[in-house]
Amino acid sequence: MPRFHCLALFVLTLSVRAQPVPLTVEAGKPGPKIDRNIFGQFAEHLGHGVYEGIWVGPDSKIPNTRGIRNDVVTALRALKVPNVRWPGGCFADEYHWRKGLGPLAQRPATLNPNWGGVIEPNTFGTHEFMDFIAQIGSRAYLSINVGSGTVAEAADWLEYLTAAQPTALAKERAANGHPAPYEIPYLGIGNESWDCGGNMTPDFYLSQMKMYARFVRNFNPSQQKSNEMLKIAVGPNDAKFEWTEAVMKAYQARQWSWDMHGLSLHSYTVVKWPPAYASTGFSAAEYARVLKSTLVMEDLVTRHSAIMDKYDPQKRVALVVDEWGAWYAKLPGSPEGFLMQQNSLRDAVLAALNLNIFARHADRVRMANIAQMINVLQAMIFTEKEKMLLTPTYHVFRMYVPFQDATFVPVAFDAGRYTQGDIELPRADAIAARDTAGKLWLAVTNVDPEKPLDLAVSLPGVSVKGAAGETLTGPQVDSVNTFTAPNTVTPQAANVRVEAGRVVLRAQPKSVSVIAIRE
């Protein structure tokens, strides 16, 4: 073949390959609100999640406010954390709140048998948690002890926290430094009652839950009627569809004396149990397997929502995914039961994929809590003595802040597939929304670890004047931030421009991009 023809064919091939993938943002077809609570956090008394992560004590040389780390507070405030679930997890069903009251030096030391059998000093208790919530500008999601506690114990805790009238418990709260009643917006009635929370059957759990839902009351005058405390029942783990069926059937037949406003769902990204995949130094094949595993969340949310729709077509009860995230093998040399793992660029991609799933199901999924906030599992933050580190997952949550309480906007595109061996994944994912100020946002995740993705974004009925944003990526899929190299995976300016009325975005390989579109 003549050289000219070869060159022409080569140029033509490049031209075809360079054609961007069309993506349409249907800005004129707004959907449900993306509840800011889907960006919730989880802080359990587990490993260094609370002690060293949040709490260092008022006498620590690490800068703190009443024992709570100042650097962590500043970092979390940037995420606009909507709610924090505490004190667990499995820890919650062995937690007795009275042990966490009074002078720090006089609190009893107990054991934490679920997580390493270590000493629990109880120095981070009710008042410390509520102080932490206030410092980061968040709201409390309290998980009460149904497994080893009693209805009376939980009822006393809520009276202690919320009573405004001068009851003995309210006076005790005032004597401990907080005369005004606290606000408790969310109450979890137990945790994993089908497993570590008591190995209960659905029927036995329902017999307990109804009593707790009846007698554990919120007395705060500001939280009555339209602002009432929302009660969240224990729901299923992964594909326990029969649990959802039983609880929702009971909900439909409920009487005036009890109610619930949410049903939890726990689903971790674990390719096989016990967790064996490493959190760093993994192969391209393991990258793909983990992401394929995390995308199961779409099917789980869809199927559990369908069961809920059968008994609650008005969607009054929220599906609350209050434990989710990647669970890998523990870091070599780390203590048993501390669930310490690294946090890589893969986890940033994984976080974005899950947040997108929740947003697409915003009519039913109105709360979620990643596990966990600091030093445990898929954490936002790592701490080491006086040092603090932001993870790739932290950066995704910070980039997604504009989606909190935004109005979902549908998108349509087909970027094709990414194939790794016998595993096939969608090459990319995207969501769009209008924030509370009316600004339009687009989030794009390029799953492909090798090839960039060029998108030509059309917005029918919208006159686009500008676009700018951030892209989070790194050198490799297993790139991590460390205390010696904290900015290996950090957001950079996105490669985006406006051309002929369209937004043209180059999404880098293995990346998460969030773009603001100016109209």
Nearest to 84 by CA among 157, 136, 48, 127: 136
* 3-state class (DSSP) for residue 7: helix
Tokens 């260092």, residue?
56
Q: How far is CA 194 from the centre of its chain?
A: 22
Residue 106 CB neighbours (<10 A): 8
Q: What pLDDT is attached to residue 225?
A: 87
∠ at Cα 477 (479, 442), nearest 5°?
105
Domains of the chain listed by start with CATH number: 20-29+409-518 (2.60.40.1180), 36-404 (3.20.20.80)
Catalytic annotation, residues:
192, 323
Decide if 292 contacts 419 (C-beta within 8 A): no
Q: How far is CA 397 from CA 75, 228, 470, in A?
A: 11, 28, 13
Q: Where are the alpha helices (DSSP H) in 312-391?
A: 345-360
**Which residues are CB-neighbours of 157 under 8 A, at least 6 positions away?**
97, 126, 144, 216
| β-bridge partners, 324 | 267, 370
Residue 127 CB neighbours (<10 A): 18
State which residues of the chain have pLDDT below 70. Answer: 1-18
Q: What pLDDT is attached to residue 11?
A: 40
Q: What pLDDT is attached to residue 465?
A: 95
Q: What is the DSSP string of 282-316?
A: --HHHHHHHHHHHTHHHHHHHHHHHHHHHH-TT--
Tokens 């064996």, residue?
276
- For the chain, the straight-line distance linking the first and the last C-alpha, in angstroms and rounded, comes to 50
**Position 151, amino acid:** V
Q: CA-CA distance, 78 to 34, in Å (whole number)? A: 19
| β-bridge partners, 46 | none
Q: What is the pLDDT of residues 197-206, one digit of tens each?
A: 999 999 999 9
Q: How far is CA 89 from CA 49, 85, 86, 417, in A?
A: 12, 9, 8, 37
Q: What is the pLDDT of residues 193-230, one digit of tens each?
A: 999 999 999 999 999 999 999 999 999 999 998 899 99
* C-alpha neighbours within 13 Å on the C-beta side of residue 112: 23
Residue 222 CB neighbours (<10 A): 10
Q: What pLDDT is attached to residue 18?
A: 58
Q: CA-CA distance, 52 to 375, in Å (whole number)? A: 9
